[in-house]
Chains A and B, each alone.
Chain A
Amino acid sequence: MTGTTSAARLIVDQQTRPRLPTYLKLRHDAGRGRWVLLAPERILTPDETAVAVLKLCDGNRTVAEIAEALAAEYSAPVEVIKADVVELLQGLADKGYVRA
């Protein structure tokens, strides 16, 4: 199969190096005072914490590293954050919005 669709469902774990597909655009929507993730025929509205996660999804950092960075920044327990990041990214991967 050609193209940019991954052939199988991505299962997100601590070692996954997530990235956003190039066609997704994370953009600040100044008029409405929120962030939006623009996708084909869709507008997603991640909140502040989800945006913080998405900005770290560069294809280099692992999920564990992303969670550690956030835990340090927000002084939150890293194990809890790890689980939450996996859940967030798995949900997005299942909609085709996160790759690895």
Chain B
Amino acid sequence: MSAKDLEANGHVQSITVDDEPTSGVSGSENASEALCALAPVGLLAELTHRCPLQCSYCSNPLELERVNMELSTEEWVSVMEQAGDMGILQVHLSGGEPTARKDLEDIISAASKAGLYTNLITAAVTLNRARLEDLAKRGLDHVQISFQDVDAENAERIGAYPGATQKKLDVARWVTELGLPLTVNAPIHRQNIHNVGRYIDLALELGAQRLEIAHVQYYGWAYLNRAALIPTYEQTVQSIDLVERARERLKGVLTIDMVVPDYYAKRPKPCMGGWAKGFMNITPSGKVLPCHAAESIPHLKFDNVKDRPLRDIWLNSDAFNAFRGTGWMKEPCRSCAFREIDWGGCRCQAMAITGDPRNTDPACALSPYHGEMVALARAEAAEPPKPFIYRNPRNAPGAAKRNERSPAMADS
């Protein structure tokens, strides 16, 4: 060992495997291609689309999967075993609301037994202390609780769930009392962006290890509700400055991760750390997706864990191979020096805004659609917010139709 080898920065590199809504925004940087090909490091398991909250910023697809389509306990247990066997390291149990599954206990036991680091991503309003304690005993490693705002009244309007705030505060307290690490998830948009500073105070008060300032990403229901959600450029910049100052001040006390709304960006995010590079997502019915919004891309064929082993899907599924690597790229991505840094950005956003998933993500300043996307965001943010279309099964059919009629700027 040479002493020089002990330099901190050279030695411990952080690989983010964030979950919804930050999932895969930053990705693996040092695992080689060959290793990536064997297994992803992170698995987002959407156990159900049922949810007691109705947040309009949800990134679930508009067509919510029904309870009678959900995988069985045995099928989820098998997924966890396969995930451990193939070398997946972390599982994010999400939804919908994962605690709506009565068998969450069995799924967490299986995940823990398989050696997976288990994250529970919850709205927390239906959890009681005894159940949380049981989940912890079964090997749950980390709990992430979403807070729709720090002001209770506004939070409960956004989530359409009266009394939610007190319940969330109770659960957050139990999490830390049980010695589990807590992440406070703050989904940020124009209707709560003024409270970013107070979210930081809340995370400190609750003894959280980590705070996610997660500016809403415009997929699924959030895309539909964009005009109700997107902040102005000035508000966005201000919130970023505030977080950066707090990060410095709270070094070693609170980790603050931030996802910024890329409509105002110059460079695209390396979405999922690259398509099919380090991450996979399983829907409540068992469809295996390269990202949670992938179903918005037409003609992709998704395999189901009921039909095919997970590793086989990772290596050979059409949907995973469709945009893996750089071979699929068109200009300006194809010859871009950053093509293996940002991987062309987000395929789903390219689809939603330009109508072609092979186009450069319009968040990139090199995209011919970039100017229009920024103008769209600025125009929507300048208007008074539109009313929310709440995310619930009742609104789903109408929402799907509405979305079909508005393919952004596909003809431009």
Contacts and interface: CB of A to CB of B under 8 A. Distances in A.
Interface in A16-41: 21-23, 25, 27, 29-32, 36-38, 40-41
B179 A4 contact: yes
A23 B6 contact: no
Interface string B18-46: 11001000000011000100110100000
B253 A3 contact: no
B288 to A, nearest CB: 19
B142 A23 contact: yes
B87 A31 contact: yes
Interface stretch (B48-56, B199-207, B292-300, B370-378): B199-207
B179 to A, nearest CB: 6
Contacts of B212: 41
Given A23-B141, A41-B183, A87 B7 contact: yes
Which size class do B's interface residues fall under? 35 or more
Most buried by B among A41, A47, A70, A93: A41
Interface residues of A, number: 53
B35 A91 contact: no
Given A4-B179, A41-B19, A76 B12 contact: no
B241 interface: no
A23 B180 contact: yes
Most buried by B among A23, A44, A80: A23
Interface of B: 1-19, 22, 30-31, 35, 38-39, 41, 86-87, 89-90, 115, 117, 119, 141-142, 144, 173, 176-177, 179-183, 204-210, 212, 251-255, 257
Given A2-B176, A23-B179, A31-B87, 12 more contacts: A3-B176, A3-B182, A5-B204, A23-B142, A32-B38, A40-B144, A41-B212, A41-B257, A42-B15, A88-B6, A92-B8, A94-B252
13 contacts: A1-B207, A3-B182, A4-B176, A5-B254, A38-B90, A40-B144, A40-B181, A41-B183, A43-B14, A45-B12, A45-B30, A50-B12, A95-B252
